[in-house]
Structure 1
Amino acid sequence: MRLTVIGCSGSMSGPGSPASCYLVQADGTDEHGEPRTYSVLLDLGPGAMGALLNHVDPAALDLLSVSHLHADHVADLVGMQVYRRWHPGGPLPALSVVGPEGTLERLRGIDGSEASECYEREFRITAHDTNVPVHVGPLTLQAFRVNHPVPAFGVRLTGPSSRAGGPERVSLAYTGDTDWCDGLVPLAQDVDLLLSEAAFQEGRDTVRGVHLTGRRAGQLAAAGEVRRLVLTHLQPWTDPDVVRQEAHDVYRGPVDLAEPGAVWTL
């Protein structure tokens, strides 16, 4: 299983990165036993559609998982819809999209389309169900409710290891946007990599119920006994070294900063 950062800027696109978008891939076989790569996209924020083209053909995507419906995580669904409807080779098959209730209505609002537009030629939209895992080839996704001003979900993914001699299955957790809540530790428990937002900074951002700080992300990594922490969703005005040090203060494992194009192989 591989994680590639497409965009990691928090709350908006930044001077060096699109907004939130992460590509998770795993090698497996199709229904005929032929080898193929399965690709899942986590969020698709402003600027991410163009950057995605540098890493994978959108026609090869198997699933798009939307953590919540704030624009910095969903705005480029409009670009994906245009790509699939107007592709010069002909319309592409509908892409499976799983997101919060209201994803279709949110897409209509961004796009400015009429209420009759269901995008059924481009997307198959379903709602997150925390009780029902989603299977995509060798990948399994499990949604967890998290703490944000709008309905929001973290996602835990398990899939095959890409490293010889390692465990057969590995795991990755993505918090989406959240503050601390009961669902976070089960989401992160024992994962090989925790991709955690850390939009807020200790002592600067005091409002609660919106975002994690670097320290709270580090506390989550420690409580979940995760093997690696990757901090993401840092806003353009935030010093990444400050947030990373906050995490280091409470978590003894490796702490990385997400950057566009960065890849972690599990």
Structure 2
Amino acid sequence: MLLTVLGCSGSAPGPNAPTSGYLLEAGGFLLGIELGTGTLAALQAIRDPFSLDALLFSHLHPDHCSDFAGLTVLRRYHSAPSRDPRVNPLPVYAPSEAPSRFTAAYSPDEADRLQTDLSDVYTFHPLSPGSVHIGPFEITVIRANHPPESYSFRISHGGRSFVYTGDTGLFDGLVDLASGVDVLLAEASWTHADDRPSGLHLSGKEAGELAKRSGAARLLVTHVPPWTEAEAVFAEARAEYPGDAVLVRQGASYPI
């Protein structure tokens, strides 16, 4: 498996820094994970957007999905798509409200929304805790500790494993999900402090603690907001986790 970072800015984009968006590729199958602000442009810079085989969303906050509306315009109106989107609707695995939320984002006018449900270019598959197969990937899905309907994922293929936390507070189920994982992609939205709100995000310290408690072989730290000192967050993670740790970079690829 190969992970490529389209964007990794947390909560909001920074200067030339898209928010959450990743590509996971194996066996010729290209899975998009999140499509936050600015990631559609980043995707087009390196890949044909019609080469996506499926999309997976952890939750529906804008920094994780706002470029879906732009993708819909591209899929409906591109004059020469490399893959006909109406013959090959893109599978979208997402929280249950995704069809109505994405339609509303694409068509703000209520009367127009009644005439479009996006099913001409997508097939929607609501997520729930359990297992799902997407292409060659076997994915374990659990509820994350984050205010809206949110999920964390363990993705396996060819004897290798990858966990993406999505946005979440730390809890025992997340440690279990990441047990013995080869690569852990963990959000870390702030430095640690007692007055941080619970059930929302991980601190750098908690991301490192998660990697250590789960026995992850490698930690990738992501989702640091542009107003937060990324190196300070990463230093907290390194202090807790003695293994291989990386602060991810936009445009970089990481083998799993």
TM tier, smaller = over 0.9
2:254 alignment partner in structure 1: 264
Is residue 110 of structure 1 aligned with residue 105 of structure 2?
yes
User: 2:5·2:249 contact (CA, 8 Å) conserved in 1?
Assistant: yes
Equivalent position SS for 1:79: helix
Equivalent position SS for 2:226: coil
Deviation by residue 1:108-137 (Cα, 9 ceiling, x = unmatched)? 22222513421011110111132232231x
Output the aligned Cα RMSD.
Answer: 1.4
Q: Which of the residues 180, 186, 203 maps onto 2:193?
A: 203
Count of residues in correspondence between the two structures: 248
Structure 1 vs Structure 2: percent identity of aligned residues? 36
Return the alpha-carbon distance in structure 2 between the equivalents of residues 186 and 204 of structure 1: 24
Q: Which amino acid aligns with 2:247?
A: L
Equivalent position SS for 1:222: helix
Q: Which amino acid aligns with 2:205?
A: R
Out of 205-214 and 224-233, give the one that drifted further. Answer: 205-214
TM-score, L = length of structure 1? 0.89
User: 2:131·2:139 contact (CA, 8 Å) conserved in 1?
Assistant: no
User: 1:95·1:123 contact (CA, 8 Å) conserved in 2?
Assistant: yes
Which runs of 5 or more structure 1 residues have no equivalent in the other structure? Answer: 28-36, 161-168
Return the alpha-carbon distance in structure 2 between the equivalents of residues 41 and 22 of structure 1: 6
1:31 alignment partner in structure 2: none
Q: Which of the residues 154, 157, 161 maps onto 1:156?
A: 154
Deviation at 1:205, TM superposition (A): 5.8
Return the alpha-carbon distance in structure 1 between the equivalents of residues 123 and 77 of structure 2: 17
Equivalent position SS for 2:113: coil
1:146 alignment partner in structure 2: 144
2:60 alignment partner in structure 1: 69
Is residue 255 of structure 1 aligned with residue 245 of structure 2?
yes
Deviation by residue 1:165-216 (Cα, 9 ceiling, x = unmatched)? xxxx111110000001232112211111100000121128611111000010
Q: Which has the higher helix share?
A: 2
Which runs of 5 or more structure 2 residues have no equivalent in the other structure? Answer: none
Is residue 232 of structure 1 aligned with residue 222 of structure 2?
yes
Is residue 243 of structure 1 aligned with residue 233 of structure 2?
yes
Out of 102-111 and 73-82, give the one that drifted further. Answer: 102-111
Is residue 121 of structure 1 aligned with residue 116 of structure 2?
no
* Alignment of structure 1 residues 47-86 onto 2, 5 Å: 47-86=38-77
